[in-house]
Amino acid sequence: MALLHAVTDLIAWLGWYVVPFILILSLIVFVHELGHYLVGRWNGVKIDAFSLGFGPELFARVDARGTRWRVGALPLGGYVKFHGDANAASVAGGAGSDPSVDRSLTLAGQPLRSRAAIVAAGPVANFILAFVIFTGMFMAFGRVEHMARIGRVELDSPAAAAGFQAGDLIKSINGNAIDSFEELQESTLMSTGLPMRFVVERQGGDVQLTATPKITVVDQGVFGKRRMGHLGLASSADPKDAKIERCGLPTCAAWGAAQEWFIVKATGTYIVGMFAGRETADQMSGLIGAAQMAGEMAKINLWELFSLAAWFSVSVGLMNLLPIPLLDGGHLAFYAFEALRGRPLSERAQEIGLRIGIALVALLVVFTTSHDILRLVTNGN
């Protein structure tokens, strides 16, 4: 009986966490690699293989152009192998030593501008995917907005110390107009430990206030404890101060772009905050943490899972733009050096860079995975 319960629990865990994560990761990886594939094809590069997943091949088919479309047993990534590449990391090889390889069909044989476009197409495709998901969700459901009116001020909070009062209507933060309480929350998230200058409307007049969000550790259950900026303000509970906004395609697209830009800004703010000492690296999550998030969103509904997929897609796009050899950003950095020097870096330099990139990515995986495991153990006690 105990064995039956264990098997049932394992199946439930796989269904709620692993399967949703693999589905959204496969979607993100497929779109990313499709960006490389399409732009490569448009530039006349031959594609030898398009793989979803790594490791042993589960099944494959070869199309009329000679591209092998394959699915690997390990669904944690993917790659496009261009003609003449030595490996799936798009390291040039064979074009110079194998006379049977037509250089005009290789990535290395393309003009610098074309190579950069092909490499950048992967992250760009991730941004496009997120934009499409966000825009589609806004078109389907609209969005709920609350007026930037204060309903409650927590005692002994930064907001209370700054002089906020219930009923205040926030008009601007740091000189930027604020139209909703949601914008206040976003600004607070990106201003942890930094002073915020407010203009609020109170009894028909404007009042200027300054408050600095304090760093608060919030227990988010399976997601662990997170450091977040906290002002101590709650939105108005008056139904008149909340509304559901609907939108046509242009407006929804603008909202989708704004949501994506917020993720980019929040990520940049977090990275800057780490170097400035306002943030810590323990906020980062790896594959285990991402699977937990996917499972929790899947338990709510399918739309929340799609929303998480959009967030992940932006994150994958940004991560791949980091100037680390092995990632797309590393290739773009090599191309930038080539543009400045007038000639490519030597194969030896590129090989050393690739090894450094592999080491850095491996260290990141080890760090985030160990942090995820530690969080699981801590929450389990």
Question: How would DSSP label each residue in 259-297?
Answer: HHHHHHHHHHHHHHHHHHTSS-GGG---HHHHHHHHHHH
Angle (CA) 91-94-96 rounded to 5° is 105
Phi then psi for 22, rounded to 5 degrees? -65, -40
Catalytic residue among 33, 260, 279, 296: 33
C-alpha torsion angle, residues 335, 336, 340, 341 (rounded to 10): -40
Examine the residue annotation and report whether 145 is marked as an active-site residue of this protein.
no
Closest C-alpha to 212, from 200, 226, 229: 229
Question: How would DSSP label each residue in 310-326?
Answer: HHHHHHHHHHHTSS-TT
Joined together, the tokens standing for residue 176 give 């930027």
CA atoms within 13 A on the CB side of 357: 23
* 280: helix, strand or coil: coil
**Tokens 């699977």 correspond to what residue?**
291
Supply the residues annotated as catalytic.
33
